[in-house]
């Protein structure tokens, strides 16, 4: 017997971004989910019932008074494996936070016992209003995943925070939340602030050249995404990855180790956990040439003098912003992997160290990873070769019980 398709309720509230929910719907159905669309009456002003019905293969209604014999206002929520509301307007967040139930979607939100994801979209002023912020905080405290809106063009000519994240990003959040369904944990990082660094620093020599490394940033992005899907407020500090910002994550962009240090120290001040997945250059050129360094005929190149960069992981571990903060480091090793890893864990003073063996197919730029997570209490957790997301989830599985 084939596995039954996961049942997803796609709630659509009345904002112009409702049209983007059509693409989210397509992605969900094409990846094997049984999707029931529940729009609000205002959403139907933007996209009609015929579109939702044709794309989902199910009847569509905004009201509790249709098909009453099937008791849809209770059944749809009870049977769902996931409810995702995209776009979620300020009004919808307020209704959900206060438990109002005046249409099919708000009834569904009250009867659902599955994970719920809200993808808000509204004007910046509405998003920033204390009423909306308090409603979002209430929903998050109760375990819902509220994705941070994207920054960019809003309806009309104005720009700012409040844009619906790309449907592909919301889909990724849904997939991850559904993937954790049935695990004991659920959104176990709700109410936590976690900081993740990702990518590789570049240390400039002159305006066109730098010393860099081969870290792609994929593992750090996987850590940020999975933490957001598990309910955390995530600050991702990325260096030179070039990736689009993941949904529901506050992203800071830096270039050098010194800039990364500054951003990490600031973000870590109120963080419950810090994961240093970035590859930080240990050295930087002692001198920066304001003009491009030219080759000269008949002259040997001048040697490049280097100076040490600060060790961010060692610094934040030794001088913790909070005594109960959980700090995780990464190590890429080629030889004596475990012995070097244990030694590094001691030297850096962090709580957990994810040790990768660098080799063909492994680590840099690949989608997969294999690692051992060493803990300061002596335990070792091997993570078999698999997606970087699986390693990311294992890291959070080990971080969560260590949080105060």
The binding site for ligand CTP (CB under 6 A) comprises 257, 276, 278, 280, 282, 309, 311-313, 329-332, 344
> Least distance (Å) from ligand CTP to the CB of residue 399?
14
State the number of CA atoms in the 13 A half-sphere of 226 facing the CB: 24
Q: What is the 3-state secondary structure (H, E, C) of 321-345?
A: CCCCCEEEEEEEECCCHHHHHHHHH
CA gap 27, 203 in Å, rounded:
40
Element (H, E) at 369: strand 368-375
Q: What is the CA radius of gyration of the chain?
A: 24
Q: What does 121-152 look like in DSSP terms, one character per residue?
A: ---HHHHHSHHHHHHHHHHHHTT-EEPPPEEE
Query: In the numeric block, which tokens belong to residue 135?
Result: 């409603």
> Least distance (Å) from ligand CTP to the CB of residue 326?
14
> Least distance (Å) from ligand CTP to the CB of residue 347?
6
Q: 168 or 318, CB closer to ligand CTP?
A: 318
Is the peptide bond prior to 293 cis by the omega test (within 30 degrees of 0)?
no
Strand partners, 251: 236
Q: What residue spans of 70-192 are helical by DSSP H?
A: 72-79, 90-98, 104-111, 124-128, 130-141, 167-179
Q: 311 or 370, CB closer to ligand CTP?
A: 311
The interaxial angle of helices 104-111 and 72-79, nearest 10 deg, is 50
> Least distance (Å) from ligand CTP to the CB of residue 309?
5
Phi, psi (rounded to 5 degrees) for 398 = -85, -30
Q: 122 or 328, CB closer to ligand CTP?
A: 328
> Least distance (Å) from ligand CTP to the CB of residue 55?
44
Q: 206 or 282, CB closer to ligand CTP?
A: 282
Q: 18 or 276, CB closer to ligand CTP?
A: 276
Q: 23 or 311, CB closer to ligand CTP?
A: 311
10 Å CB burial of residue 106 (0-12, 13-18, 19+) is: buried
> Least distance (Å) from ligand CTP to the CB of residue 256?
11
Query: In the numeric block, which tokens belong to residue 387?
Result: 């997606």
Return the active site residues: 213
């Amino acid at each position: 017997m084939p596995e039954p398709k996961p049942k997803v309720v796609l709630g659509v509230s009345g904002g112009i971004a409702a049209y983007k929910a059509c693409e989210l719907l397509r992605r969900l159905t094409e990846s094997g989910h049984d999707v029931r669309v529940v729009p609000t009456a205002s959403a139907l002003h933007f996209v009609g019932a015929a579109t939702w019905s044709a794309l989902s293969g199910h009847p569509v209604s905004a009201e509790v008074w249709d098909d009453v014999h099937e008791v849809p206002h209770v059944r749809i929520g009870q049977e769902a494996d996931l409810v995702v509301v995209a776009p979620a307007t300020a009004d919808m967040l307020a209704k959900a936070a206060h438990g109002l139930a005046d249409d099919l979607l708000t009834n569904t939100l009250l009867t659902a016992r599955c994970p719920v994801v809200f993808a808000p979209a509204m004007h910046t002023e509405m998003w920033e209003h204390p009423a909306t912020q308090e409603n979002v905080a209430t929903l998050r405290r109760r375990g819902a995943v509220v994705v941070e809106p994207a920054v960019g063009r809003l309806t009309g000519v104005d720009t700012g925070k409040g844009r619906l994240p790309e449907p592909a990003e919301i889909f990724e959040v849904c997939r991850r939340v559904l993937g954790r369904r049935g695990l004991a944990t659920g959104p176990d990082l709700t109410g936590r602030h976690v900081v993740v660094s990702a990518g590789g620093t570049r240390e400039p020599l002159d305006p066109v050249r730098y010393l860099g490394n081969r870290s792609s940033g994929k593992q750090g992005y996987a850590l940020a995404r999975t933490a957001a899907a598990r309910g955390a407020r995530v600050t991702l500090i990325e260096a030179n990855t070039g990736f689009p910002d993941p949904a529901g994550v506050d992203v800071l962009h830096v270039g050098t180790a010194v800039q990364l240090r500054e951003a990490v120290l600031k973000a870590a001040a109120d963080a419950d956990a810090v994961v240093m997945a970035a590859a930080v250059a240990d050295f930087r050129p002692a001198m920066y040439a304001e003009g491009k360094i030219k080759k000269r005929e008949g002259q040997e190149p001048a040697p490049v003098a280097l100076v040490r960069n600060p060790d961010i992981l060692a610094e934040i571990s030794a001088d913790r912003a909070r005594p109960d903060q959980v700090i995780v480091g990464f190590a890429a090793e080629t030889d004596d992997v475990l012995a070097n890893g244990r030694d590094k864990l001691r030297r850096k003073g962090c709580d957990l160290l994810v040790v990768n063996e660098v080799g063909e197919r492994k680590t840099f730029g690949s989608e997969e990873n294999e690692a051992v997570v060493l803990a300061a209490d002596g335990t070792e957790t091997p993570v078999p070769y698999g997606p970087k997301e699986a390693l990311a989830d294992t890291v959070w599985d080990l971080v969560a019980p260590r949080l105060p």
